[in-house]
Homo-oligomer: A and B are copies of this chain.
Amino acid sequence: MSGFFNSCQNQMKYNEEDESQKGINKATKGGIVYGEYLQLDKVLNAQVLQSQQRGDKIHDEHLFIVTHQAYELWFKQILWELDSVRDLFIKKHVRDERNMLKVVSRIHRITMIFKLLVEQFAVLETMTALDFFDFREYLSPASGFQSLQFRLLEAKIGVADHLRVPYNRRHYRDNFHGQESETLLSSEQEPTLLQLVEKWLERTPGLENDGFNFWGKLQANIEEGLKMEKHKLEKMEDSEVKEDLLAELNKQTEVFTALFDPKRHEHLLSKGERRLSYKALQGALMINFYREEPRFQVPFQLLTALMEIDTLMTKWRYNHVCMVHRMIGSKAGTGGSSGYHYLRSTVSDRYKVFVDLFNLATFLVPRSWVPKLNPSIHKFPYMAEYYDSSYNSCSSEDSD
């Protein structure tokens, strides 16, 4: 896995004639070894049992520590991917379709990590309530609620501040202090993944009123479709079936009337039941309907992966709740906010960031109602077409 390419590449990259290359080569030869590279002296010396510190070593506390450290390691990796994706959206590259593979791959990687984190509960669940009881006293007042990285992760994805369940009647940020509190606050001021995706969706080609005008065409088609449907139903002989069908048609009509009403959208936004701007919602629906167009294949994969993140975070929360129930019971009836009930309340659609993408399923229509593309509209331009000319001057982007 080493040798030639090391040296020759180093040489080419840095200084073709530099005599120090031999030094580099030797260093490579002697080189860094596995344990140093991974800084195992730090990682493997960070397991200090509080029970042991108090002279009462409890075997299972080691598992408790290692499991939580593994969670934090993976949270760090998720933040690494998340920051890089946000960065790709923020920078000028955002207009470059060439970055979409990176974006989708990294979001996909986050979902793979979350899957692992959901599995990981199975290991901690080998600890029984009794094993935990033996050392849980020593942990106070440390609590998983204090995981800065998890809060950052929520904030950066876009969990809304005002939709959070309060913790012991306090704002969640009040549980952090000093540097940590500032880090949280400043992260809340950066654009969230949700906001960046929103901006990106708003630029979906085909939404332009003076161009393909997807939204206008869709509204017209749906209204026409519903009208024809009503007309047809009304001609049916009176029967229970007819009544049912008319009732459903009315319901359906209401749904679509609401969809095309911008004020209704603002209202739902203000209540937190929608999170995307009206324009972005239109873009998302458009990508769904035309997902097989080459231009929209990878964007469609992105929307799917974003829903996956939401789903997995909510599964993670739910698995967490289940574990806590095993470990400390529900403590029903003893009063006071129990960890179990607090956690349970966070397994809620209020914590779903991309809730609008899920709810798109409510607005599907028969394929024949979807506005037709015609050959000249068919090829939505890639942003990259405007970008080509500057291509050679941007080679550093690749190393991001």
State the CA gap A97–B291 with chains docked (Å). Answer: 12
Query: Which one, B3, B129, B252, B360, contacts A329 given CB within 8 A?
Result: B360
7 closest A-B pairs by CB: A2-B140, A4-B248, A329-B361, A34-B146, A39-B46, A329-B362, A129-B361
Stretch of A162-170, A186-194, A275-283, A297-305 that contacts chain B: A297-305
A160 within 8 A of B: no
Stretch of A71-79, A198-206, A212-220 that contacts chain B: A71-79
State the CA gap A28–B349 with chains docked (Å). Answer: 33
Given the known interface contacts A39-B48, A84-B59, the answer about A116 and B109 at a Cβ–Cβ threshold of 8 Å is no
Given the known interface contacts A98-B293, A359-B330, A400-B59, the answer about A25 and B241 at a Cβ–Cβ threshold of 8 Å is yes
State the CA gap A255–B399 with chains docked (Å). Answer: 27
Chain B nearest CB, measured from A84 CB (Å): 6
How many chain copies? 4
Could you tell me if A109 and B358 are in contact, using CB atoms closer than 8 angstroms? Answer: no
Chain B nearest CB, measured from A291 CB (Å): 6
Chain B nearest CB, measured from A230 CB (Å): 10
Could you tell me if A28 and B140 are in contact, using CB atoms closer than 8 angstroms? Answer: yes
State the CA gap A115–B186 with chains docked (Å). Answer: 39
Could you tell me if A129 and B364 are in contact, using CB atoms closer than 8 angstroms? Answer: yes
Could you tell me if A294 and B98 are in contact, using CB atoms closer than 8 angstroms? Answer: yes
Could you tell me if A349 and B330 are in contact, using CB atoms closer than 8 angstroms? Answer: yes
Contacting residues, chain B, for A129 (C-beta < 8 A)? 288, 360-361, 364
State the CA gap A117–B74 with chains docked (Å). Answer: 14
Closest to A39 in B: B46
Chain B nearest CB, measured from A224 CB (Å): 12
Could you tell me if B40 and A328 are in contact, using CB atoms closer than 8 angstroms? Answer: no
A394 within 8 A of B: no
State the CA gap A130–B147 with chains docked (Å). Answer: 34
Closest to A348 in B: B344
Given the known interface contacts A241-B22, A294-B100, the answer about A16 and B232 at a Cβ–Cβ threshold of 8 Å is yes
Query: Which one, B16, B140, B249, contacts A31 given CB within 8 A?
Result: B140
Contact with B along A61-74 (1 / 0, CB 8 A): 01101101110111
Could you tell me if A33 and B141 are in contact, using CB atoms closer than 8 angstroms? Answer: yes
Closest to A44 in B: B76
Chain B nearest CB, measured from A125 CB (Å): 8
Could you tell me if B292 and A101 are in contact, using CB atoms closer than 8 angstroms? Answer: yes
State the CA gap A273–B330 with chains docked (Å). Answer: 11
State the CA gap A125–B304 with chains docked (Å). Answer: 10
A209 within 8 A of B: no
Could you tell me if A2 and B139 are in contact, using CB atoms closer than 8 angstroms? Answer: yes
Contacting residues, chain B, for A359 (C-beta < 8 A)? 329-330, 332
Contacting residues, chain B, for A138 (C-beta < 8 A)? 6
Given the known interface contacts A46-B42, A69-B73, the answer about A133 and B273 at a Cβ–Cβ threshold of 8 Å is no
Query: A331-377: which residues lie under 8 A (CB-CB) from chain B?
Result: 331-336, 339, 347, 349, 358-364, 366-368, 372-375
Query: Which one, B9, B102, B144, B145, contacts A292 given CB within 8 A?
Result: B102
